[in-house]
């Protein structure tokens, strides 16, 4: 038995060690994964830190890449590979970029990670765009657009649209470029991205300049300036570019004074030598076009030399064209030809087709003996350029068509899924609708019954008012009759009796005579009291007012007693209730009843006031309390408020309700009485 116990204990001990070992392995694995992610994050930060050299930054990237290669692939691996690849591209290590970006894209496709798929295509598009392989660049921008659009990434989708628009603009597909730019603008507006709205409108203006729609170009530049003003931070960079571009447009329009204004404005905001050389060159060339040659040679030569010193090849090309025009103007043909040829050579090197054509045209003008040679070359190159542009435009169209097919297929599959879902939901909706119709029918019948009952109650109320008015009239007539009887009958007889007694010659003691006089005085006092009573009975008063206001008071006092609040009344004596229709009075009564009921139910008020006033055409009722109030901005309102509005609307009146929480509520009603 003891031996068995020992064996059992050993087994327990072995199992405990195994379990602890497994737990430690799990914890170690999790900890290792966390540490790996932290390390990759730190290496990627280091790779973007400008305080490290490029070699050190690349080393950080290689460490991050190595860590991803040696560990288990997870959902973040493809994304991190894409980030590493693009940073290599920024550091001009295109070999590492292409290798790692391809890995990232392949893994992203396997994991169906739409964002990273799009991101890797975007990186490739930038790579080909920088190498000026624009058809490949357009293809990858378009692929990135497809995936970003499918996952509703509005900012990235807009960026892709603008990038494709820019490429199309370079190939003089102005219409296609404009369409894509407007699509991008729509998304940038919804995102309130003012920086890219500035960029997009600036591009639209450039397109309009190229097709010589200068006024439209000016409008777009002004729009670009408007959005530039909303961009946070320094705006000088944007303003100098817009001012320079506006100057060029006005120069093309031959409005040289306006052009100089904008060039000088651009020069004020310019700090970089690259920008200042461009603007100074433009100012000098504009003056040349104005036939003002004073000092322009110095400016043109200075710009050329500065551009040469900073290796600005496009700038040197533009300077040589302008200097060639200057020498042509002063009839120094040799120098004009020399600078035109320099511009042509630079255009060939940097593959600037437009300036190359411009230089050929200038040389044909400057060298008449070689004019045919230059013009033939001009025509030949221009034709080949047009054909090349058409081929690229056709590629863009084909890519767009394939994209549309892809989108249509996605739509078809989505519609099929929706159809199946809708069919299932449709049956439920039909059954729900039938149930709703049945419930609604029952409610309508109930509402109709309540409406009929309310109408009957109003008719009874009108009859009651009329009956009370008739009764009040009879009371008045009876009061007048009694008053007349007292005055003409009893008062006359008493007067006659008193006068008769007054003329009697009473013989007797002094006490007896005093008693006689006292009785005569008392009879006179009785006459006065009867006369006062008669006058009071005969005094005119508005029975209709007493009748309706008494009903209102009775209603209000009953509610005040129920909810224990103080009630104050104010009745304008100018209101002729007998001239106001019974329909108005019934509805006013019901509205006050509804308002006071709301006070009783919800307001928890201590004081309530009820005021009636009038002018020539309207009657005004104000019901005010100091209760808890409510939020008038909420859409959901009680049936009581709706009933009040409905009744007053039928009378062509208006209702204004003001309420503040913890302050109280005021209901103001105005009803026309002469309609």
Residue 492 shares a structural domain with residue 399: yes
Of 538, 559, 590, the residue at which a domain comes to its end is: 538
DSSP output for 427-454: HHHHHHHHHHHHHHHHHHHHHHHHHHHH
158 lies in some domain: no
Q: What is the Cα–Cα distance from 116 to 105, expressed in whole angstroms?
A: 7
Q: Same domain for 532 and 631?
A: no
* Separation between Cα atoms, residue 242 and residue 198, nearest integer Å: 10
In tens, the pLDDT along 557-593 reads 988 898 899 999 998 888 888 788 888 888 888 889 8
Per-residue pLDDT, 22 = 47
Q: How far apart are the first and last CA of the chain?
A: 114
Q: pLDDT tens-digit profile of 109-131? A: 999 999 999 999 999 999 999 98
- For 172, left (φ over 0), alpha (ψ -120 to 50), or beta? left
- Among 300, 243, 303, CA closest to 268: 243
Single out the residue in 538, 563, 589 at which a domain terminates. Answer: 538
Q: Answer whether residue 159 is part of any domain.
A: no
Instruction: Check pLDDT > 80 for residue 259.
Output: yes
Domain membership flag for residue 453: yes
Work out the average pLDDT over 49-60.
Answer: 92
Q: Are residues 531 and 601 in the same domain?
A: no
Is residue 518 located within the same domain as residue 646?
no
Q: What residue numbers bound the domain in which 621 lies?
A: 543-672
Give the three-class secondary structure for 666: strand
Kindly tell me if the per-residue pLDDT of 544 is higher than 60. no
**Are residues 553 and 499 located together in one domain of the fold?**
no
> Are residues 593 and 516 part of one domain?
no
The answer to the question of residue 620 being in a domain is yes
Claim to verify: residue 457 and residue 576 sit in the same structural domain: no
**pTM score over 0.75:** no
Do 530 and 583 belong to one domain? no
Strand partners, 623: 610, 667
Residue 648, C-beta contacts closer than 8 angstroms, at least 6 positions apart: 587, 591, 654, 655, 669, 671
Q: Residue 94: its pLDDT value, please?
A: 92
In a domain, 241, yes or no: no
Give yes or no for residue 633 having a pLDDT over 80.
no
Looking at the structure, tell me whether residues 467 and 490 fall in a common domain.
yes
Per-residue pLDDT band at 1 (split at 50, 70, 90): very low
pLDDT at 17 over 90: no
Both 533 and 447 in one domain: the answer is: yes
Domain edge (last residue) among 504, 538, 572: 538
- What is the tens place of the pLDDT at every residue in 399-408? 665 555 555 6
> How many distinct structural domains can be found in the chain?
2
Burial (Cβ within 10 Å: 0-12, 13-18, ≥19) of residue 258: middle
Indicate whether 454 and 582 sit together in one domain.
no
% of the chain residues with pLDDT over 90: 38
**Residue 485 located in a structural domain:** yes
Q: Is residue 358 part of a domain?
A: no
501 inside domain? yes
Dump pLDDT digits (tens) for 281-315. Answer: 999 999 999 999 898 999 999 999 989 898 998 99
In angstroms, rounded to a whole number, what is the distance separating the alpha carbons of residues 636 and 160?
45
CATH number of the domain at 628, please: 3.30.565.10
Residues 571 and 648 in one domain: yes
**Residue-wise over 222-252: b if at least 16 C-beta within 10 A, else e?**
ebbbebbeebeeebebbbbbbbbbbbbbbbe
pLDDT digits (tens, 9 = 90+) for 500-541: 777 776 666 777 777 777 777 777 788 777 777 766 666 654
């Amino acid at each position: 038995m003891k031996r068995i116990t020992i064996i059992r204990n050993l087994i327990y001990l072995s199992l405990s060690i195994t379990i602890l070992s497994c737990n430690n392995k799990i914890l170690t694995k999790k900890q290792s994964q966390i540490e790996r992610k932290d390390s990759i994050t730190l290496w990627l930060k280091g790779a973007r830190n400008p305080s490290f050299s490029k070699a050190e930054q690349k080393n950080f990237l290689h460490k991050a890449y190595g860590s991803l290669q040696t560990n288990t692939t997870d959902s973040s691996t493809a994304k991190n590979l894409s980030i590493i690849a693009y940073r290599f591209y920024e550091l001009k290590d295109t070999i590492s970029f292409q290798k790692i970006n391809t890995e990232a894209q392949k893994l992203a496709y396997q994991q169906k990670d739409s964002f990273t798929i799009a991101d890797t295509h975007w990186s490739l598009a930038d790579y080909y765009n920088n190498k000026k392989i624009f058809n490949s660049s357009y293809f990858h921008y378009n692929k990135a657009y497809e995936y970003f659009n499918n996952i509703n990434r509005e900012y990235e989708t807009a960026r892709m649209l603008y990038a494709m628009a820019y490429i199309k603009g370079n190939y003089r597909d102005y219409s296609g470029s404009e369409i894509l730019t407007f699509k991008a603008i729509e998304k940038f507006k919804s995102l309130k991205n003012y920086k890219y709205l500035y960029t997009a409108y600036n591009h639209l203006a450039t397109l309009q300049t190229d097709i010589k729609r200068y006024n439209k170009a000016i409008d777009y530049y002004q729009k670009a300036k408007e959005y530039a003003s909303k961009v946070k931070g320094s705006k000088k960079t944007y303003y100098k570019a817009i001012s320079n571009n506006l100057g060029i447009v006005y120069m093309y329009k031959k409005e040289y004074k306006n052009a100089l204004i904008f060039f000088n404005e651009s020069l004020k905001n310019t700090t970089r030598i690259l920008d200042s050389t461009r603007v100074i060159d433009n100012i000098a060339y504009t003056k040349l076009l104005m036939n003002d040659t004073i000092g322009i040679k110095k400016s043109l030569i200075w710009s050329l030399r500065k551009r040469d010193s900073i290796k600005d090849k496009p700038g040197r090309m533009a300077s040589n064209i302008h200097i060639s025009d200057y020498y042509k103007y002063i009839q120094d043909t040799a120098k004009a030809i020399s600078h035109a040829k320099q511009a042509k050579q630079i255009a060939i090197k940097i593959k600037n087709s437009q300036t190359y054509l411009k230089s050929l045209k200038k040389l044909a003008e400057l060298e008449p003996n070689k004019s045919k040679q230059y013009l033939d070359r001009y025509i030949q190159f221009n034709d080949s350029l047009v054909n090349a542009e058409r081929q690229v435009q056709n590629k863009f169209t084909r890519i767009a068509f394939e994209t549309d097919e892809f989108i249509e297929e996605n739509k078809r599959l989505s519609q099929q899924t929706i159809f199946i879902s809708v069919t299932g939901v449709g049956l439920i909706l039909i059954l729900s609708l039938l149930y709703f119709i049945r419930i609604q029918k029952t409610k309508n019948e109930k509402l109709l019954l309540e409406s009929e009952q309310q109408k009957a109650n109003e008719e009874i109320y009108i009859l009651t008012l009329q009956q009370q008015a008739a009764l009040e009239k009879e009371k008045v007539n009876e009061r007048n009759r009694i008053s007349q009887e007292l005055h003409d009958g009893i008062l006359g007889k008493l007067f006659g009796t008193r006068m008769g007694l007054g003329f009697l010659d009473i013989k007797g003691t002094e006490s007896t005579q005093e008693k006689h006089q006292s009785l005569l005085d008392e009879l006179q006092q009785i006459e006065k009291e009867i006369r006062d009573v008669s006058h009071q009975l005969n005094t005119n008063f508005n029975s209709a007012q007493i009748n309706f206001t008494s009903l209102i008071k009775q209603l209000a006092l009953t509610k005040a007693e129920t909810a224990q609040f103080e009630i104050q009344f104010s009745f304008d004596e100018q209101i002729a209730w007998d001239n106001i229709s019974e329909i108005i009075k019934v509805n006013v009564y019901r509205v006050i009843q509804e308002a006071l009921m709301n006070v009783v139910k919800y307001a928890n008020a201590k004081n309530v006031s009820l005021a009636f006033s009038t002018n020539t055409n309207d009657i005004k009722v104000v019901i005010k309390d100091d209760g808890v109030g409510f939020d008038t901005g909420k859409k959901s309102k009680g049936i009581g408020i709706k009933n009040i509005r409905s009744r007053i609307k039928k009378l062509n009146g208006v209702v204004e309700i003001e309420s503040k929480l913890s302050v109280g509520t005021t209901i103001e009603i105005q009803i026309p009485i002469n309609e």
